A and B are shown apart, each in its own frame.
Chain A
């Protein structure tokens, strides 16, 4: 609505426009722009974007099939034809690293999605309906947390068998209790707030309360947790591939390539060095991103 303005003589040097007022609070776009002044957020974004771009552009960057064997090129050292050298089967390592990145990154994304969704749902349920249901869910989370992560992942991988999708489930199992704890705690905290009482009094359904009042309050915590766990998930996926319980050869995956490189470490250092650099870079990028997001979204957790 336009405010009523004082009628003035246009010839007078009085500015008749109302003082330009920006929005009362920063717009989303401004918040994003401001956030990028945060160094680690910017650095993390750059690293992640570059890596994702490299991996998406794999078909443009290399014409070699990652599984194409060329006995003549076996153990070829890095050169113009094989930028990162070749492995024992003469497969081009550059191509395997790029395509392997697709597997590792996608798998770790699925890990946080699966673990995050299951853990968040259980956490919401436990936080909202405390009592018997909540008790059982929380003791279940305690039980899972009592296992060092690797035991859980190994056990799940042993039950389900090796393979990429089972590896994802195995790693997600480590994450579920972490999400349950976080979401349950945040939910209980919000439940004490007057506006939730008001909503209950007005007869709002639990579904409505969870969706409108609780989820928005726990969302930033979930985003921060998800980002910081994306890097850990990548490390776990690669670790499972490295032990031989994750992705099975010949599918390229960073951990699987490293497992292969381990056998030839004395003759072909490149098989071990290059995929590891990419994996470490990806995790550094994601961790920087996570730090930045935490500082922006969750000031209480900020490391001052």
Chain B
């Protein structure tokens, strides 16, 4: 167990290193010179450009730039945004809470409604309710989230103004973005839970329990559900990545402040340091979440621990 933990930890550090190098290189490949962008109309003056290059450290060889950046990064110094001269850490601090709030709301919706739909379909397997539920799940997965967001804005902000939609991080303003974010994951989870429950129902211990005369509901609750819902945990880890992708689009559609919009804007304005910090943090967080999920799994499922 501890050996396994150590191995995973090492692999995550290696992965984080790989990610940081890749991000750094990709950003350097983006055409355009941030110093010229920053100087605007004064960019014609070569001496000014050279001086700014020196101050930003852009005159150094790439590997020196990388080491400097990663060294400062590990000490918690993310540098300053090229865009509005604020420190990247203050930009992150200003934008992270809204994104975390949105992601958690989306995750909660997708797990709860996905599980409900999936269990319903599995219990009524091969009957009308199953077909309908799985049809709904497939539709959920197929609807483009940005289009759904626009439709919700059209319905609830333009036609029947119930929710204030654009901007703001109030709880009421969270409803539509969270629904938009969660929809495709709801569909995905419903399908996953259905197949998980169905395969648990076919296990021999379920037949044994029924044979012993335990009531159908008891068997379902204690033997089927407990075993079927565990794998959702692994899915949740993977889903965080999907939700982060969704966040970028949902924040754009609803003009919500957050990491996703910050990222799109800083990519468009060639704000190297902000992009590097955001991407590295998100990718590492994603890897860590999946590690935590993998470590939690044996705690919750003794069968895995004994293997």
Interface residues of A (CB under 8 A from B): 139, 142-143, 146-151, 154-156, 158-159, 161, 231, 235, 238-239, 242-243, 255, 258, 261-262, 265-266, 269, 272-273, 276, 279-280, 283-284, 287-288, 291, 303-304
Contact = CB atoms under 8 A, between A and B. Distances in A.
A127 to B, nearest CB: 21
A259 to B, nearest CB: 9
Contacts of A262: 150, 253
A303 B194 contact: yes
Contacts, number: 121
Contacts of A148: 241-242, 244-245, 282-283, 286
Majority DSSP secondary structure for residues of A touching B: helix
Contacts of B18: 139, 142-143, 146
Contacts of B112: none
A280 B267 contact: no
A-B complex: 7 closest residue pairs judged by Cβ atoms: A276-B147, A150-B245, A283-B142, A148-B244, A148-B241, A284-B142, A303-B195
B138 A291 contact: yes
Contacts of B144: 235, 238-239, 258, 276, 279-280, 283
A158 B199 contact: no
Interface in B25-82: 26-27, 29-31
A156 B30 CA distance: 9
Contacts of B194: 303
Given A155-B279, A284-B139, A146 B158 contact: no
A239 B31 CA distance: 23
B141 A258 contact: no
Contacts of B202: 304
Contacts of B282: 148, 151
A161 B270 CA distance: 12
A261 B150 contact: yes
A304 B199 contact: yes
Contacts of B267: 154-155, 158
Contacts of B143: 280, 283
A265 B154 contact: yes
Given A149-B245, A243-B264, A265 B153 contact: yes
Contacts of B283: 146-148, 151
A238 B150 CA distance: 14
B13 interface: no
A231 B195 CA distance: 22
Given A155-B267, A276-B144, A284-B138, 4 more contacts: A148-B241, A148-B282, A150-B248, A304-B198
Nearest to A281: B142
Instruction: With a 10 A CB-CB cut-off, give which of A142, A146, A159, A262 has the most chain B CB atoms.
Output: A146
A143 B26 CA distance: 13
Given A143-B15, A154-B248, A269-B154, A161 B195 contact: no
Contact of A258 (B31, B147, B191): B147
A139 B244 CA distance: 22
Contacts of A283: 141-144
B191 to A, nearest CB: 7
Contacts of B260: 150
Nearest to B245: A150
A50 B286 CA distance: 40
B264 A287 contact: no
Nearest to B16: A146
A146 B286 contact: yes
A155 B26 contact: yes
A156 B244 CA distance: 17
B146 interface: yes
Interface in B200-252: 202, 241-242, 244-245, 248-249, 252
B19 interface: yes
A280 B176 CA distance: 19
A287 B283 CA distance: 28
Contacts of A291: 138
B158 A265 contact: yes
25 contacts: A150-B245, A150-B260, A151-B282, A154-B263, A155-B267, A159-B26, A235-B144, A238-B146, A239-B146, A242-B146, A242-B249, A243-B249, A243-B252, A258-B146, A265-B154, A266-B158, A272-B150, A273-B151, A276-B147, A276-B150, A284-B139, A304-B195, A304-B198, A304-B199, A304-B202
B88 interface: no
Interface string B123-164: 000000000000000110111111100110110001000000
Find the residue from A139, A161, A231, A235 having the highest chain B CB count within 10 A: A235
A254 B26 CA distance: 29
A283 B221 CA distance: 36
A125 to B, nearest CB: 20
Contacts of B150: 258, 261-262, 265, 272, 276
B15 A146 contact: yes
Contacts of B23: 155
B100 interface: no
Contacts of A235: 144
Given A148-B242, A272-B154, A154 B287 contact: no
B292 interface: no
Contacts of B94: none
Nearest to A258: B147
Nearest to A154: B267
Given A146-B15, A146-B286, A158-B267, A151 B142 contact: no
